[in-house]
Structure 1
Amino acid sequence: MTQEMLVLEAEIREALGSANARRLRRSGRTPAVLYGKKKDNVHLSLDTRAFADVLRHHARVLTVKLPDGSSEPAVVKEIAWDELTDEILHVDLTRVDLDERIHLEVGIELVGDAKGVLQGGMLQQLLHEIEIECRADAIPEALKVDISELGIDDVLRVADLPLPDGVRALRDADELVLHVLPPKRGEVVEEAEAASEPERIGKPKETDEG
């Protein structure tokens, strides 16, 4: 499933600098810049809640609506976060043509429970995101992978990922995405001992002493 094209209204940001950016964020707006396609950079402010909604929809390409009534498709290129508060500090948007092929990262979403995990194994996921190439108007929300048939010691590689038509993975085809590890040796021994120990029914028989 490709991502829905969301519309985000923006205002022109006249006052620049860190102090003005802080005042802007306190007012409920997020500083941003729109650049690319050999056009002038445009300093913008975005409604913070509206942009948070864009992130909740995992949208990467959106329509930026400017105050003069014009609109430009753009990719969310980079987001600067405050490491302490998780507040969005700044957003970089780059112009894009919807029919051009772009590079970006999408998430790898696991579906189901691996058979090997149900047998006591442990799932180790090495790749949670992967860089892909696709048309700007055909970005998948995520790469969904059914792992229910994976047994102990089974692996999933980049080559095994289900890629939609027109999408190309930009990682080595043999790179591991995940691995179903066998149970730890101690756990196997304990389970075997528990299985071989006879069940005790009732109280232990008392013995006479002396």
Structure 2
Amino acid sequence: MAEVKIQAESRTEFGKGAARRIRRDNKVPAVLYGHGTDPVHITLPGHDTMLALKTANALLLIEVEGSESLLALPKQVQRDPLKGHIEHVDLVIVKRGEKVQVEIQVHVEGDAVSETLVVVESQTILVEAEATHIPDGVTVSVEGLDAGDQIHASDLKLPAGTTLAIEPDTLIINVTAAQTAEQADAEMAEAEAEAGIERDEPVAAAVAE
């Protein structure tokens, strides 16, 4: 994974008022921590940060004037629930060569046999990888799988240098028989009955003589 260089500024003002002023300037308040160091409060450029964090587990090279550059991974990203823009970022410092645990995306490709349903039980998996070689995700093929087939974490083909950080028997993909229309109607009727909902009987059309 390529490093994304971001120029940061030291931050000495704290609190909600200071954070609002930072955001009005199209910047993002952030904090760097880890490796036994005291938290470093910084301000990041809003646009550059937004672009960088579009990639999961983005490896950032944070350059703060007057300080050494630091490699960091996003630990927590707070976003505005309505507008979606970034409000605050927690960054954890990493070192080249060290192993880190991160969540990576599960990508599904291929088609199971007809009249089956592919259920992705785990959208992401926890893996351990070198901080500078975190995979973008893992691809799982369901080509030709039939109802009853399953894929567990131990079946995944991870990139070299990446290992599972979850139980090997964790269910990732479950292939089941697709539900028929009759089964769907029966389930719906049962659910409505349990909820006390009564269906109106269809009115028969009058036959003209």
User: Whole-Å Cα distance in 1 between the matches of residues 181 and 75 of structure 2?
Assistant: 47
Corresponding residue to 1:122 among 114, 117, 120: 117
Contact 1:5 1:59 in 2 (8 A): no
Of 133, 141, 144, which aligns to 2:139? 144
2:111 maps to 1:106: no
Aligned to 1:67: 65
> Secondary structure, in 3 states, of the residue corresponding to 1:56?
coil
Which residue number in structure 2 is paired with residue 173 of structure 1?
168
Question: Structure 1 pair 59/183, CA: closer, same or farther in 2 (3 Å)?
Answer: closer
Distance 2:46 2:145 in 1: 42
TM-score normalised by the chain length of structure 1: 0.80
The runs of at least 4 consecutive aligned structure 1 residues that moved more than 6 Å come to none
Match of 1:207 in 2: none
Q: Is 1:44 matched up with 2:33?
A: no
The structure 1 residue matched to 2:4, chosen from 6, 9, 13, is 6
Contact kept? 1:153, 1:181, Cα under 8 Å: yes
State the match for 2:30 in structure 1.
Answer: 32
* Identity among equivalent pairs (%): 28
Letter in 2 for 1:173: P
Q: What's the CA shift string for 1:90-127, capped at 9, x where partnerless?
A: 10111111111111111111123x222xx021111110
- Note the residue ranges of structure 1 that are not aligned, 5 or more in a row: 189-210
Partner Cα distance (2:178, 2:100) in 1: 41
Q: CA RMSD in A?
A: 1.8
C-alpha displacement at 1:59, in angstroms?
Answer: 4.2
Aligned counterparts of 2:124 and 2:30: Cα–Cα separation in 1:
25
SS in 2 for 1:43: strand
**CA displacement at 1:187 relative to structure 2:** 5.9
Say whether residues 1:159 and 2:157 are aligned partners: no
- Unaligned regions of 5+ residues in structure 2, if any? 184-209
Asked which structure has the greater CA Rg, the reply is 1
Check the 8 A contact 1:61/1:137 in 2, yes or no.
Answer: yes
1:23 corresponds in structure 2 to 21
